[in-house]
Amino acid sequence: MSRYRVAMDIGGTFTDAVAYDEETGTYVAGKSSTTPQDLTDGVFGALGTVVDDPADVSFSVHGTTQGLNAFLQRRGVRVVLLATSGAGDVLHIARGNRTRLYDIHFRKPTPLVPRRDIVEIEGRLNAAGEEIAALDEAAIRAAARRARDEGAGGIAIAFLFAYLNPAHELRAAEIVAEEAPDLAISLSHQVAREWREYERTSSTVLDAYVAPIVKRYLGRLTGEMAARGLAVPMHVMQSNGGIVSAQAAAQQTLQTLLSGPVGGTMGGVALSRITGRPNLICVDMGGTSFDVSLVVDGKPDVSTEAELEGFPLLMPVVNIHTVGAGGGSLAYEEGGGLRVGPQSAGADPGPACYGRGGTEPTVTDANVVLGRVDPSWFAGGQMTLDVDAAKAAVAGLGDTLGLGTLELADGICAVANAKMAQAIRTLTVEKGIAPSDFALVAFGGAGPMHAAFLAAELEIPETIVPRFPGAFSAWGMLETEIRKDFARSFVQTLPTLDSAGLADALEAQEAEAYAALADEGIDRATGRVEHHVDLRYIGQEYTLTIPVLSADEPRGDTFTADLQARFDTTHAARFGHANPGAPIEFVAARSTGLGDKGRIEPTALDSDAGAEYPTERKEVVFGGAPVQATIVRRDDLPVGVSIDGPAVVVESTATTVVPPGQRLTVDPFGALVLQTDPRS
């Protein structure tokens, strides 16, 4: 009988699974090694640790790295790009900017399509979307044949102004389909219906590059799942912070690309809702990564475009900021001083304590030396750490710098914490918000180890370590809604706005969004569509995404005044100033369909603060000197108990460090909440 809601999330090392038992109201988490050769093996392995029979699953969601891996390893299909005559080099010029200022050896990322595989096609629209040169159909036919004969896997078609009028792209697709029916086709107006040809072309090429691989993977996975008895549709996590059916995901493969860490942010959104904390800084720290994202007013911080290894992607994504290298950050000497990061030991050889030949000390090694990591319980006992190697690495640098091993290990962590905290502060300052208005949520294997120190640096009053911190991303996926985004360029000024035209555009998108939700089994009663417009003061480059209350709001008499006020207020909050009354320009109209597939509302557990639980005492280093700390296993902790630091909470996927002067409490949802001890 179906009673389990299950999430399976592929990570670099492990594939995590979290299941919620609808009958008992309890969660269980498990993991299996990720299997790069065929990711489905790891997925089934992880699923098997939480559910015996796939037929018992009532809802399933999946986060996959298949598309991202294909991109990162440059193992996508060969793509032929059809571009407008005179603009074929746009992909390679890539707007010509440099991202490293003091580097005469700076290189742009190598485009996924070499210049010889870009075919310029006659046919031109003007800035009003009107045809001023007819499409050269013979040239398209020839290009399609060539692509077919040379064994290309996909064709990307990106014509100028197609976001205004897709006729040329659609006709070109017809011709390609006639000549080369097996070739996957990606059209720029379908991938990203927005202006700026480089960004749109880059998105389309990336889509064409990975789409066949992601489709094949999803087809194989869902087929095999069904064969094993899964009776409900699979859902897939998207970069925009929503989920869709696997079937829909195969049509929007680009959206799966950056979905990996997004589950964690959505977990933060769920925590925010459940625990009533509107603003969260989510910190995901793994062995070699450190990702930061924000939940503001209970919503994920979503931006309308992203970048992947220097390639722009025009699509809504939850903002994930990668900051430094986390536990893999190397400590070294330079000019007689200590440095920590940005250089990283990476995953291979990794920190010295991994015992894979790394000899330079990392932040993880420092944590091991300090006694903050249980060497036999690292990654749930799947890896035993070499404490001596960690000590030797730290001691070696200590000799160079004239510092004792413990002192230096503490120092390495202190420097790493200071730098991570500063990076978080700069991120919030850029958005015009103060970190002290937030709570910190820490997850990933190493997040809870550093969180309390980061919070202290940032003057953040509360740190939360959720349940299953190592599988929080998977947990977050269980708490995520269906999401479908629709957008198009809408370039007009507010003073001369065609209000009916805007309402028409939003209503058309709303109809598309409801149709897409219906495909996911969500009707108009349970689904909803939210509308936004991208606005800016005329002359500005950056836009702000401002809500429109309903598709027909523009038809109202006060709309332009209301929208102006909304924009001015947001501008003042975000940039510190506004220019009330200055003319505003529209750039894009966006509509988002959202619908709940029956998320879980966890119930608060009763306090059991008086219950006994086993503890140990052990030496852990704080402030450069060993002190006696309380060591507990998280699974043993009753709801409602409080423990004063220094303490270390050990569990299978992570270690939570409670420094002296902080107090830990287990909240009614099982999360660990760390606060500065009022007595200290």
Partner 1 sequence: MATRTIDPITTEIVRSAFTAAADEMNATLIRSAYTPIIYEMKDCSVALLSADHRVLGQSAGLPIFLGNLEVCTQLTEERFGRDAWQPGDVWLMNDSYLTGTHLNDMTVFGPIFHAGELAGFAACRAHWLDVGAKDPGGAMDSTDIWQDGIRIAPIKVAEGGVQRDDVTQLLGLNSRFSYPAMGDLGAQIACVRTGQSRLEAIIGRFGTETLELAREEIFAQTERFERAAIAAIPDGTYQAEGCIDGDGVGSGPCWVRVRVVVDGERMTIDLTDSDDMQRGPVNCGEAQAISACRVAYKLLVNPDNPPDGGAFRALDVDVRPGSLLAAQEPAPCQWYFTPLGLLIDLVVKALAEVMPEQAAGASYGDSMVIALSGMDQRGPAAAPWLLYEPTVGGWGAWDSSDGQDGLINNVNGSLKDMAIEVLETKYPVRLVHYGFRTDSGGPGRYRGGTGVIRRYVVEADSAELSLWFERSVTPAWGLLGGADATPPDVIVNPGGDDERHYLKASRVPLKRGDVVQTMTGGGGGYGDPREREVEAVRLDVLDGYVSEAAAREVYGWDGTT
**Sites of contact with partner 1 (CB under 8 A):** 86-90, 92-99, 101-108, 114-116, 126-127, 160-161, 163, 195-199, 334-340, 401-403, 407-408, 410-411, 414-415, 418-419, 422-423, 425-426, 429-430, 432, 491, 496, 539-542, 574-577, 579
CB of 539 to partner 1, least distance (A): 7
Contact at 8 Å (CB) between 351 and 292? Answer: no
Query: Which helix or strand (DSSP H or E) is residue 644 part of?
Result: strand 642-644
CB of 255 to partner 1, least distance (A): 23
CB-wise, 163 or 378, nearer to partner 1?
A: 163
Q: Tell me if the bond preceding 349 is cis, omega within 30° of 0.
A: yes
CB of 134 to partner 1, least distance (A): 16
Closest to 307 (Cα-Cα) out of 203, 441, 382: 203
Q: Tell me if the bond preceding 342 is cis, omega within 30° of 0.
A: yes
CB-wise, 107 or 617, nearer to partner 1?
A: 107
Q: Tell me if the bond preceding 646 is cis, omega within 30° of 0.
A: yes
CB of 580 to partner 1, least distance (A): 12
CB of 96 to partner 1, least distance (A): 3
CB of 391 to partner 1, least distance (A): 18
CB of 645 to partner 1, least distance (A): 21
Closest to 45 (Cα-Cα) out of 68, 73, 14: 14
CB-wise, 324 or 469, nearer to partner 1?
A: 324
CB of 430 to partner 1, least distance (A): 5
b/e code 530-551 from CB counts within 10 Å (16+ = b): bbbbbbbbeebeebbbbebebb
CA distance 278 to 577: 24
Strand 462-465, strand 544-548: pairing:
unpaired
Q: Which segments of 106-254 are extended strands (E)? A: 118-121, 124-125, 131-133, 154-158, 184-187, 234-237, 243-245
Number of helices (H) and strands (E) in the chain: give both, helices first: 16, 35
| CA 188 centroid distance within chain | 23
CB-wise, 220 or 321, nearer to partner 1?
A: 321
CB-wise, 164 or 516, nearer to partner 1?
A: 164
CB of 105 to partner 1, least distance (A): 6
CB-wise, 92 or 618, nearer to partner 1?
A: 92
CB of 675 to partner 1, least distance (A): 21
CB-wise, 376 or 422, nearer to partner 1?
A: 422
CB-side exposure of 300: number of CA atoms within 13 Å? 29
Q: Which segments of 202-336 are extended strands (E)? A: 234-237, 243-245, 280-285, 290-296, 299-300, 302-303, 306-308, 311-313, 317-318, 321-322, 329-334
CB-wise, 148 or 425, nearer to partner 1?
A: 425
Burial of 67 (0-12, 13-18, 19+ CB in 10 A): buried
Contact at 8 Å (CB) between 202 and 312? Answer: yes
CB of 407 to partner 1, least distance (A): 8
Q: Which residues contact 292 (CB under 8 A, 6 or more apart)?
A: 281, 282, 283, 284, 320, 321, 323, 423, 424, 427
CB-wise, 160 or 516, nearer to partner 1?
A: 160
Q: Which residues contact 122 (CB under 8 A, 6 or more apart)?
A: 85, 133, 134, 135, 136, 139
CA distance 474 to 27: 12
Q: Which residues contact 669 (CB under 8 A, 6 or more apart)?
A: 274, 275, 467, 602, 604, 605
Q: Which residues contact 104 (CB under 8 A, 6 or more apart)?
A: none
CB of 127 to partner 1, least distance (A): 4
CA distance 327 to 347: 10
CB of 426 to partner 1, least distance (A): 5
| CA 91 centroid distance within chain | 25
CB-wise, 132 or 611, nearer to partner 1?
A: 132
CB-wise, 55 or 491, nearer to partner 1?
A: 491
CB-wise, 463 or 489, nearer to partner 1?
A: 489
Closest to 323 (Cα-Cα) out of 480, 450, 466: 450
CB-wise, 49 or 579, nearer to partner 1?
A: 579
Phi, psi values for residue 107, rounded to 5°: -130, 135
CB of 372 to partner 1, least distance (A): 17
Phi, psi values for residue 409, rounded to 5°: -60, -45
CB-wise, 111 or 268, nearer to partner 1?
A: 111
Tokens of 319: 């903002």
What is the end-to-end Cα distance of the chain in Å, rounded? 53
Write the single-letter amino acid at 145: R
CB-wise, 87 or 658, nearer to partner 1?
A: 87
CB of 415 to partner 1, least distance (A): 5
CB of 393 to partner 1, least distance (A): 17
CB-wise, 92 or 148, nearer to partner 1?
A: 92
CB-wise, 13 or 540, nearer to partner 1?
A: 540
CB of 489 to partner 1, least distance (A): 9
Tell me the C-alpha to C-alpha distance, in Å, between residue 409 and each of 39, 188, 404, 445, 592: 37, 52, 8, 19, 48
